[in-house]
Structure 1
Amino acid sequence: MTRTLPDLLIEPVVRMALAEDLGRVGDVTAQACIPEDARFSAVFSAREAGVMAGGAVVRIAIHAMDPSATVTIKVADGEAFEAGTVLVEAEADARALLAAERTALNLLGRMCGIATLTRTYVQAVAGTGARIADTRKTTPGLRALEKHAVACGGGLNHRFGLDDAILIKDNHVAVCGGAGEAVRRARDFAPHLMKVEVEVDSLAQLDEVLPERPDVVMLDNFSLADLEEAVRRVKGSAFGPVVLEASGGVNLTTVAAIAATGVDVISVGALTHSVPQLDVGLDAN
């Protein structure tokens, strides 16, 4: 399925990044070296294999500098590509395209890196029934783009912010006076379309919250044996359905074993906070 993100959500991020790069007087190198009426035809090419995310970002960055530019996205978001693949073709005012180059490459490389890493995690748990999800550990200002990239890689999006679901974590429990009490209060507060999730760090805490019927229970830093026991207790209880989410200590070495315990979702902060940039370059066409 082709993934799309509305231009309205992309444009403020791109314009802010362009403004940061242009500084006070614009691209002085291009002004000094490039004739005012010069045109430039170029391609954004992958230096390594990966998964596409961010074609629209490139288009918007170039059009912000040259509204008459021609930009053709050759690989749709969510599609895999090999090293050497042309991802985007562009023809524009030369000064404008060169001024947009670094912003476009920075965002495209980051988004493709996230999508590619996400796809690797998704493939690692294939056949288990577990789904890979992101977290709110995103780069400030880039959350919409980064979560879009996770979706392009086949992952699930967790909360987008503090306002779209209730997630009771350890510090909420500490202030509230107990996990069960926190869930009871959340149930009283939440409208009918809002999910309630609670984080627990032990099987005893799991037993405490289940009678309060949370929609999701996050099993934080559980051992594999305790994850299996948690799945057994929830599947055999009268308090379902409850989605079980494993979190903490997840990496590509551990994720398959975590998925094999029977949990429904595995949240991975590394998808956005520790992702390597995918190598993408701009070459003359």
Structure 2
Amino acid sequence: MRTRAPFVPDDLHATVQHALAEDVGSGDVTARLVPAEQKSSARVIAREAAVICGQPWFDDVFARLDRTVEVRWEVQEGAHVEAEQLLCTLHGPARALLTGERTALNFLQTLSGTATAVRRYVDAVAGTNAKIVDTRKTLPGLRNAQKYAVVFGGGVNHRIGLYDGILIKENHIAAAGGIRQAIANAQALKAGVPLMTEAEDLEEARAALAADVDLLLVDDFPLEQLREAVKLVRAHRAGGGKTVLEYSGNTTLGNVRAIAETGVDRIAVGAITKHVHAVDISMRFSGG
């Protein structure tokens, strides 16, 4: 169970390269309207309040187009900004600035949108012990980037993919013949990754606690049932167990506070990476 993105994802350069390839293709024919030797400057402005995220992707776009482009950031990664605030300035060959504008802004707008959504949920549960956790419901090709943005929004990363954690879900339980058998099969693998399981009722929760799984994920429990699960987990940990309790299912900004106040450790929210509202950010040229 990951808690922080310790560094920029390894696939950053490949992600940027792919994004540029789909946009530029055989060449930016419109940029040829500007002389190759012309230099320009530009300003990037936030048009709405947001948490800014995605600077490494933004920078890499222009570095790949022309190493002489200078990007000067006026805000730090993860900073909250207000509408009409200056984010950064750029200076360099006009063609490179024109070609990279949309791809760079796409990364910045999307990842800022993710970070902003996360921050809203984190703020909504402030003062409780609950942490906001992401899921695998990410935009195709941008998983690592969005997981990075979750951290800068104040959230916590769940497993990155299918390879770095076992998460037994209802279909695994059904296929294995029950939760106890599914957990036993997982333990027999000795995979060296966290063992996590969903539970759809308190009976399954007790079975998971009996196996002292790393994480118990209760799915769509009503609040009263969730409070009972919290009591079970706390008693389990008081007896030396290690299990962490996570809630998932139809969480919104309207109900996340009530869920957090049950005492649950973590709340998984698919919407923070799935329902992305890109932040309105624009680039304006200001001459040479």
Please give the range of the TM-score, normalised by the shorter of the 2 chains.
over 0.9
Question: How many residue pairs get matched?
Answer: 281
CA distance 1:5–1:101, shift in 2 (3 Å): farther
Structural mapping, 1:215-226, within 5 Å:
215-226=214-225
Checking the alignment, whether the CA contact within 8 Å between 1:134 and 1:156 is kept in structure 2 is: yes
**Partner in structure 2 of residue 248 of structure 1:** 249
Deviations 1:172-203 (A, max 9, x none): 11111111111122122234x52110001111
State how far apart, in whole Å, the 1-side matches of 2:46 and 2:7 are: 22
- Structure 1 residue runs of 5 or longer lacking an equivalent are none
Task: Please state how far the C-alpha of 1:27 moved relative to its aligned partner.
Answer: 1.4
Structural mapping, 1:127-146, within 5 Å:
127-146=127-146
Deviations 1:115-142 (A, max 9, x none): 0110010000011100000001111111
Deviations 1:129-175 (A, max 9, x none): 00000001111111111111110000000111111111111111111
**Partner in structure 2 of residue 230 of structure 1:** 229
State how far apart, in whole Å, the 1-side matches of 2:38 and 2:152 are: 36
Give TM-score, length-normalised by structure 2. 0.93
- Structure 2 residue runs of 5 or longer lacking an equivalent are none
State how far apart, in whole Å, the 1-side matches of 2:187 and 2:126 are: 34
1:113 and 2:120 matched? no
**Partner in structure 1 of residue 165 of structure 2:** 165
Checking the alignment, whether the CA contact within 8 Å between 1:7 and 1:56 is kept in structure 2 is: no
Checking the alignment, whether the CA contact within 8 Å between 2:223 and 2:262 is kept in structure 1 is: yes
Deviations 1:58-107 (A, max 9, x none): 11101111111111122121111111222121111101110000001111
**Partner in structure 1 of residue 187 of structure 2:** 187
SS at 1:236 equivalent: helix
**Partner in structure 2 of residue 213 of structure 1:** 212
Q: Which moves more between the two structures, 215-224 or 82-91?
A: 82-91
Structural mapping, 1:78-93, within 5 Å:
78-93=78-93
Checking the alignment, whether the CA contact within 8 Å between 1:53 and 1:108 is kept in structure 2 is: yes
Task: Please state how far the C-alpha of 1:5 moved relative to its aligned partner.
Answer: 4.0
The residue type paired with residue 11 of structure 1 is H
State how far apart, in whole Å, the 2-side matches of 1:266 and 1:214 are: 17
Structural mapping, 1:270-281, within 5 Å:
270-281=271-282
- What is the aligned-residue RMSD (CA, Å)? 1.6
CA distance 1:116–1:221, shift in 2 (3 Å): same
**Partner in structure 1 of residue 198 of structure 2:** 199
State how far apart, in whole Å, the 2-side matches of 1:208 and 1:54 are: 42
1:263 and 2:264 matched? yes
State how far apart, in whole Å, the 2-side matches of 1:205 and 1:86 are: 52
State how far apart, in whole Å, the 2-side matches of 1:4 and 1:108 are: 20
SS at 2:11 equivalent: helix
CA distance 1:128–1:231, shift in 2 (3 Å): same
Checking the alignment, whether the CA contact within 8 Å between 2:9 and 2:144 is kept in structure 1 is: no
The residue type paired with residue 196 of structure 2 is E
CA distance 1:155–1:200, shift in 2 (3 Å): same
Task: Please state how far the C-alpha of 1:7 moved relative to its aligned partner.
Answer: 7.0
Give TM-score, length-normalised by structure 1. 0.94
Checking the alignment, whether the CA contact within 8 Å between 1:210 and 1:239 is kept in structure 2 is: no
Checking the alignment, whether the CA contact within 8 Å between 1:112 and 1:149 is kept in structure 2 is: yes
State how far apart, in whole Å, the 2-side matches of 1:172 and 1:22 are: 43
State how far apart, in whole Å, the 2-side matches of 1:10 and 1:87 are: 21
State how far apart, in whole Å, the 1-side matches of 2:253 and 2:190 are: 35
SS at 1:76 equivalent: coil
Task: Please state how far the C-alpha of 1:235 moved relative to its aligned partner.
Answer: 1.4
